[in-house]
Structure 1
Amino acid sequence: MGNNHEHTVAWRHAHPDMAKRSGEVIRTLLRHGHEAYWVGGCVRDEYMGRPVHDMDIATSARPEITAALFPKVIPTGMQHGTVTVMHEGEAFEVTTYRTETGYDDHRRPSEVTFVTDIEEDLQRRDFTMNAMARGLDGAWVDPYGGRRDIEARRIRCVGDPRLRFQEDGLRMVRCIRFASVLGFAIAPGTWRAIKSEQKTLRWIAMERIRIEMDKVMAGPHPRRGLALFVRSGLYDHMKVPFPYTGHEEAWMRAIDHVDSLRLDVRWALLLLGCGLASAAADPLLRAWTFSNKDREAICAILRFQEFWLRLKDEGRSQDRLAWIRLVLDFGGGVAASWLTMQHALTAAGAEETADTAKLDDWLQQMVVYSLKELNVTGNELLSALEKRGGPWLGELLNQLLMQVAAGIVPNDKSALIDEARRVVIHEEG
């Protein structure tokens, strides 16, 4: 299989430096008598015109030989044939051609055998579009029709799909993720295999599933991905499933109307669509291995929604001071996220429950959102008032914060001290 040393394929969707340096890694392997190709996602994404982020390489060279050819190598997974070559500041995974057997845990192979044929290596991969290689000269190795399936906008397993999913249950989730993110159909045989092997998902750690689900939720068609999870039966076999029925109420429709960068809002909508309040959502997100930061961001939106509904029930939804107090309690960022969610619900055809334009104006008019933005400190107040500290000081600072946020008192140190004196004199009098 030809790998011309002199000519390099043009990469239009990868960073030029990354393409150049990965080509130099391949050229080094070729110069020492080994085969080497770009493989997997970078080949697929380049063919599809999508941004290329990682450029992985497969080679006939054994891992110890690859490691000896480059000055800086990280032994990422020598037993599985993988080393990470550091070349001019870029990291490239270089893996020896291999076959895999004995997936006892439906996730990782118990035995890896190094081989010398690129087509044997491609045979172990999950989907045809990921089982393609490209040489330095641009030559294609595509024994399973990956390009043909991409043109047909189809996800299809390499070989027997049931066997592929028995080997690694996470591949079923990846299949749905690709179908959702790319807008592709799932080949009938591959879909039937998912439904047949759905119980295999019980072996897969929630963290691995959550990472794939995050990609679904960050994609252009999250609702389609969620629907595929339900229709395939995979939802029923996750270790910690969502109580999701697949009904297309406004909460679910709204997910597609939220910018893909706002994953916290998309997840909040999904949880609300599942009928979950913050108290029930918090342990679920923990079990799904969300980071503390992400979990807290999502639950804060749910709690804000609960407090907003309480204001609404009390007939205070048009009360500017009540809104400002709510914003100060939760923070301007959480309030903005909640408003983003409300805009998405309106775009999805939900009945408006809030005058979001007015609430947004009130939010923008606030000049402070937290105590650290006040132009006076607790110590400065103690000194000016000649008083000792105590719980009263925190109450006073929060009262000043509310007045500044509402535009009643300017955020000026002397004005704040004067107002503090007035409040203390009034309370002591």
Structure 2
Amino acid sequence: MDIPENVQAVLKTLEAAGHEAWCVGGCVRDALSGRRPEDWDVAASARPEETLAVFGSRAEPTGLKHGTVTVKTPGGPVEVTTYRVDGAYRDHRRPESVTFTRSIGEDLARRDFTVNAMARNLRGELRDPFGGREDLRRGILRCVGDPDRRFQEDALRILRGLRFAAALGLEIEPGTAAAVRRNREGLRDIAAERIQVEFFKLLPGKGAAAVLRGYPEVFGVFWPELLPMVGFGQRNRHHCYDVWEHTLHALDAVPGDVVLRCAMLLHDVGKPACFTLDEKGVGHFYGHPAVSRDLADKMLRRLKCGTAFRETVVRLVEWHDKDIPRTDKSIRRALRILGEADLRRLILVKRADNLGQAPAYWDRQQELDKAEEILDRLLAGDACFSLKQLAVNGRDLLALGLFGPAVGKALEDLLEKAVDGVLPNNREALLEHVRKNRESGGEGGEYERP
């Protein structure tokens, strides 16, 4: 295990002062599985005040109650946490008290899963009292000790376990899986922000669809709107799966980006509420994009998602079933409304939605290829689709004598005409159009005269 130099320096300094020090948790797990660790956590026998004394001005008390001191190093901050034993948990969230200990074994025993309950020191010695390395080799996720106790201590561990399964490709062993289901209601005591963090780390995982498929009732605790999709038959030749299975196949067909995965998870959440059967027994879901949009907005607000993230996902959900003709004019209009980033996301969403349908209808991918080709060509030709790209600006119109709301109205009109190809995005042509419009008295009510 290649420990970064700054982390090695922290370990050496602690050992030189007479303390034990180990790399613990996720960094050991990731290094053993051939992944590059993102974070390096250090556990030490030193009490917080001892760690502060060892590192002096380089140390800051960032979590003394739980024994955590942050050491500033040239390679970035390193958290050093005293070995501890957790006290009783009363709210499915955090221990009421912690007791510091000098035993790394006792510290590892309080951790959630065996693959996270390993420690390694500077000399490469591995402490693995619960068989985490073997579980990692076998691709198994298993709780340390009694899984019911682990999840009752901190219910967020339920989502952490599902996230590890999705991200690391681990299979949850039967006893732990049963405890996940038994204790899922504990998630109601967890803050929405904490659920959001874990859930949005889960969604990009390669195994996200499989985990969602295996544990819908768990996710239904905080997003009950998902549950009606499970097993809901579509009764339509375009679909070979029920709504939930279609959703999971579509989710699996987009890249592992949390915006795209979230959009795919929610794109058909409104379908069960919109289901109708025609006289031939064929199922239809008229209006489901709008219903899905509204539900998605409420669900994302419930998880306290940021405004930009929520609005992007909701926009993709609303647009996922809209037909955008494969013409320059239509693509330019879509660019104007969505912007390049979201239009490219929408194409990926439409591709995935189609791949979640019956294979006989996968030829729609060719139409999406055409849309992407037009988009690429328009952008390569510096197509105008936003006010920033328009060859004139507000100052130009003020110089012509427009003022107040008339300026914004004229700019929007010019942009629309440039997008539709009625006018070229040329400064002189656009200004000439404004001049003629004003001279004719604003024919058609396009602009106001001052």
Q: TM-score, normalised by structure 1?
A: 0.87
Give the corresponding residue for 1:356. 368
Matched position secondary structure for 1:331: helix
Runs (5+) with no aligned partner, structure 2:
231-242, 271-290, 444-450
Matching of residue 256 in structure 1 with residue 244 in structure 2: no
Q: List aligned pairs for 1:151-190, cutoff 5 A.
A: 151-190=137-176
Q: Is the 8 A contact 2:269 2:296 kept in 1?
A: no
Within 5 A, what are the aligned runs for 1:179-328? 179-230=165-216, 233-238=217-222, 240-244=223-227, 245-246=229-230, 247-261=243-257, 263-275=258-270, 276-305=291-320, 308=322, 312=323, 317=325, 320-328=328-336
**Alpha-carbon shift at residue 249 of structure 1 (Å):** 4.1
Deviation of 1:195 (Å): 2.3
User: C-alpha separation between the residues in 2 aligned to 1:428 and 1:198?
Assistant: 64
How many matched pairs? 401
Residues 1:378 and 2:394 are matched in the alignment: yes
Compare 110-119 and 192-201 and name the one that shifted more: 192-201
Partner of 1:3: none
Q: Pairwise mapping of residues 43-192 of structure 1 onto structure 2 (< 5 A)?
A: 43-70=28-55, 71-192=57-178
Distance in 2 between residues matched to 1:334 and 1:155, nearest whole Å = 37
Q: 2:351–2:365: 8 Å Cα contact kept in structure 1?
A: no
Q: Which residue of 2 aligns with 1:393?
A: 407
Asked if the contact 2:114/2:131 (under 8 Å) is kept, the reply is yes
* Other structure's SS at 1:284 match: helix
Amino acid of the structure 2 residue aligned with 1:419: H
> What letter corresponds to residue 178 of structure 2 in structure 1?
R
Corresponding position: 1:414 with 2:428: yes
**CA distance in 2: counterparts of 1:249 and 1:398, whole angstroms:** 43
Structure 1 residues 353 and 83: CA distance shift in structure 2, 3 A: same
Is the 8 Å Cα contact of residues 148 and 179 (structure 2) preserved in structure 1?
Answer: yes
Change (3 A) 1:265 1:425: farther
CA deviation after TM superposition for structure 1 residue 205, in Å: 1.6
Q: Is the 8 A contact 1:40 1:130 kept in 2?
A: yes
Could you list the per-position Cα deviations for residues 361-403 of structure 1 after superposition, in whole angstroms to 9, with x for gaps in the alignment? 343315122112112112312323xx33254433332232233
Moved more, 196-205 or 406-415: 406-415
Name the CA shift for 1:353/1:26 in 2 (closer, same or farther; >3 Å): closer
> Which amino acid is 1:339 matched to?
I
Cα root mean square deviation, aligned? 2.2
The answer on whether the counterparts of 1:304 and 1:335 sit within 8 Å (CA) in structure 2 is no
| TM-aligned CA deviation for residue 354 of structure 1 | 9.0
Task: Give me the whole-angstrom Cα distance separating, in 1, the residues matched to 2:314 and 2:131.
Answer: 45
Q: Which residue of 2 aligns with 1:368?
A: 384
My pick for the range that moved more, 415-424 or 347-356, is: 347-356
Deviation at 1:292, TM superposition (A): 1.1
Deviations 1:17-39 (A, max 9, x none): xx111011011111111111110
| Corresponding residue number in structure 2 for 1:5 | none
Change (3 A) 1:426 1:327: farther
Q: Which amino acid aligns with 1:378?
A: G
**For 2:23, what is the secondary structure of its paired residue?**
strand
Give yes or no for the alignment of 1:25 onto 2:10: yes
Which residue number corresponds to residue 348 of structure 2? 340
Q: Distance in 2 between matches of 1:146 and 1:327?
A: 50
Amino acid at match of 1:257: A
Deviates more, 1:217-226 or 1:109-118: 217-226
How far residue 349 of structure 1 moved from its aligned partner, in angstroms, is: 4.2
Between the aligned partners of 2:81 and 2:211, the Cα distance in structure 1 is: 31
C-alpha displacement at 1:322, in angstroms?
4.3
SS in 1 for 2:407: helix
One-letter identity of the residue aligned with 2:265: L
- Identical-residue share of aligned pairs (%): 38
Name the SS for the 1:58 alignment partner: strand
CA distance in 2, matches of 1:254, 1:406: 33
The one-letter code sitting in structure 2 at the alignment partner of 1:288 is L
Paired with 1:329 and 1:337, the residues of 2 have a C-alpha distance of: 13
Instruction: Quickly say closer, same or farther: Cα 1:347–1:54, change in 2 above 3 A.
Output: same
CA distance 1:175–1:302, shift in 2 (3 Å): same
- CA displacement, residues 168-214 of structure 1 (integer Å, 9 cap, x when unaligned): 11111111111111111111111122222222222112221221111
Candidates 40, 51, 54, aligned match of 2:25: 40
Give the partner amino acid of 1:274: V
Offset, 1:89: 4.2
Structure 1 position 111, deviation (Å): 1.4
Distance 1:224 1:341 in 2: 19
Report if the CA contact (8 A) 1:297-1:334 is conserved: yes
Report if aligned partners of 2:43, 2:83 keep a CA contact under 8 Å in 1.
Answer: yes
Give the residue type in structure 1 aligned to 2:30: D
